[in-house]
Amino acid sequence: MSEPAQPTEATDDLPPYLVPHSQAPIRLIYEDTDLLLVDKPHHLLSVPGRHPLNRDSLIRRLQPRYPDVQAVHRLDLDTSGLMVVPKRRESLSELARQFQRRQIKKEYTAIVWGEVSEDRGSIKFPIATDWSNRPKQIICEKRGKHALTHFEVLKRGNNRSLIKLKPVTGRSHQLRIHMQSLGHPIIGCDMYAHPEALEASDRLLLHATRLKLCAPSTGNWLSVFSPIPFDL
């Protein structure tokens, strides 16, 4: 799902978190007068962090060629895949409205720990910030915000499941914590996976696979796909 990038600085009593520097290139998939559709590599921030050593990001890399680009949504540092990047202020405003109205459709693919028994289903647990363990989130019926994720199992094997995830809402870490709540954490997740699932991959096995939106100037619907860079 589209989620805020992981914080690039810790609390005042801890040293700043310095992100890994991804050497992988950004892949440009589509461009028009309004926007870019790009494929973000994992371990690349969506926007610059506050710390000087965390300035490298998707937006900073695009700005030399597209000086007016701004972020309208983000992917986590560890998540790879599709992002839409507005090229001008007018398209930024329109795309922000589409996100607010949930008109933009997002689809992710992940590999989770264990073989999920249901072929498909929906996860509706509300999500709140875990204030004592930020930036982690928790399932919380009392103060959590509504969160909804649809899932479909694509393949099972070797104590793993390849799944399609369709977030309806866009809460921070929604896909990670929703899958953990089912007992099937996303492999390689350093926040919600148990040690064995974390150590099973050197990266988070979560990829933004599909994105569907309406181009602001033309009104035409765009649908793009990015193949997953991993498999069972």
Residue 17 lies in a domain: no
Conformation bin of residue 62: beta by default, left when phi > 0, alpha when psi is -120 to 50: alpha
Residue 122 lies in a domain: yes
* The total number of structural domains that make up the chain: 1
Measuring CA to CA, which residue among 232, 155, 178, 156 is closest to residue 200?
232
| Predicted confidence (pLDDT) per residue in 38-95, tens digit | 999 999 999 998 887 788 999 999 999 999 999 999 999 999 999 999 999 999 999 9
Cα–Cα distance measured from residue 37 to residue 30, given in angstroms and rounded to the nearest whole number: 5
Q: How far, rounded to the nearest angstrom, does the alpha carbon of residue 108 sit from its chain's CA centroid?
A: 8
- Amino acid found at 202: D
Residue 20 lies in a domain: no
| Predicted confidence (pLDDT) per residue in 134-188, tens digit | 889 999 999 999 999 999 999 999 999 999 999 999 999 999 999 999 999 999 9
Residue 161 lies in a domain: yes
Residue 3 lies in a domain: no
| More confident site: 20 or 118 | 118
Catalytic positions are 76
Residue 11 lies in a domain: no
- Domain at 122, CATH number: 3.30.2350.10
Say whether pLDDT at 5 is over 60.
no
User: If residue 195 lies in a helix (H) or strand (E), which one and from where to where?
Assistant: helix 195-199
Domain that holds residue 161: 27-225
> pTM of this prediction?
0.90
Measuring CA to CA, which residue among 165, 177, 162 is closest to residue 111?
162
Residue 19 lies in a domain: no
